[in-house]
Amino acid sequence: MAVRRWRATPGTGPRSCSRWRRARGFAELLSCTVGPDLSGVQVLDVGCGTGGFLRQMIDWGASPANLTGTELQTDRLDHARRCTAHGVRWHLGTLDAVSPASYDLVTALTVFSSVLDPALRRELATQMWRALRPGGWCLVFDFRYDNPRNRNVRKVTRSDCKNGGRGAGSATAAWCWRRQSTACWPWRRTWCPNC
């Protein structure tokens, strides 16, 4: 497949505009990290929900055979299977069954804010980190502020970004802080501490 620049197209209305801006931000971030050609990138989407991000990856040129979605809720995973192109691999449950060092990109979109226990957050980050190949990227997109109306979510802080994945052997993490309302950081797994 030819290398191409990803584009997100706007819809109508304020929610569509917000989704378009988020999609455009992801497209730009992915282009700078895993590169402009997604056809050969192995992707693991943790907490894939109904598969929306994996469908977006397919629209951007990712091969369904290279995509894996994991989810803890059966009804969401069933919906994802029905609505997503054939060839995507689906897994119901935790990341324990995921092979180590088998993905170029591991994503978790609004997942960490739903994990209220700090020890479970660290364990999830460690499992995500374990799934990355050397040179791979981990992309987390989540809430930066607590929601006073929803006690079932907790903000993801700057220190969560700095400390996430640091316990994974000799690998180092690079991160960036984006936007006021969200945290979005890519961690790059490298074997050189100065990279």
Write down how long the chain is: 195
pLDDT above 60: residue 193: no
Q: Is the pTM of this model over 0.85?
A: no
Asked if residues 20 and 10 have their Cβ atoms less than 8 Å apart, the reply is yes
Q: Which of 18-22, 123-127, 146-150, 155-159 has the lowest mean pLDDT?
A: 18-22
Closest-CA residue to 80 (of 48, 115, 111): 48
Residue type, 190: T
Summarize pLDDT for 55-73 with one digit per residue, the tens. Answer: 999 999 999 999 999 999 9
* Average pLDDT in the chain: 75
Tokens matching residue 20? 């378009």
Report the pLDDT value the prediction gives residue 7, as an integer from 0 to 100.
46
For the four alpha carbons of 38, 41, 45 and 49, in that order, the dihedral sign comes to positive
**Cα of 136 vs its chain's centroid, Å:** 12
Tokens of 6: 């990803």
Higher pLDDT: 55 or 115? It is: 55
Q: Which residues pair with 139 in a beta bridge?
A: 107, 186
- What would the pLDDT profile of 157-192 be if each residue is shown by its tens digit? 766 655 444 443 323 333 333 333 343 444 444 433
Q: Are 163 and 118 spatial neighbours (Cβ–Cβ below 8 Å)? A: no
Q: Which CATH architecture has domain 39-188?
A: 3-Layer(aba) Sandwich (3.40)
Where do the domains of the chain lie?
39-188
What is the reported pLDDT for 113?
A: 87
Residue 169 near residue 126 (C-beta atoms within 8 A): no
- Between 194 and 132, name the one with better pLDDT: 132
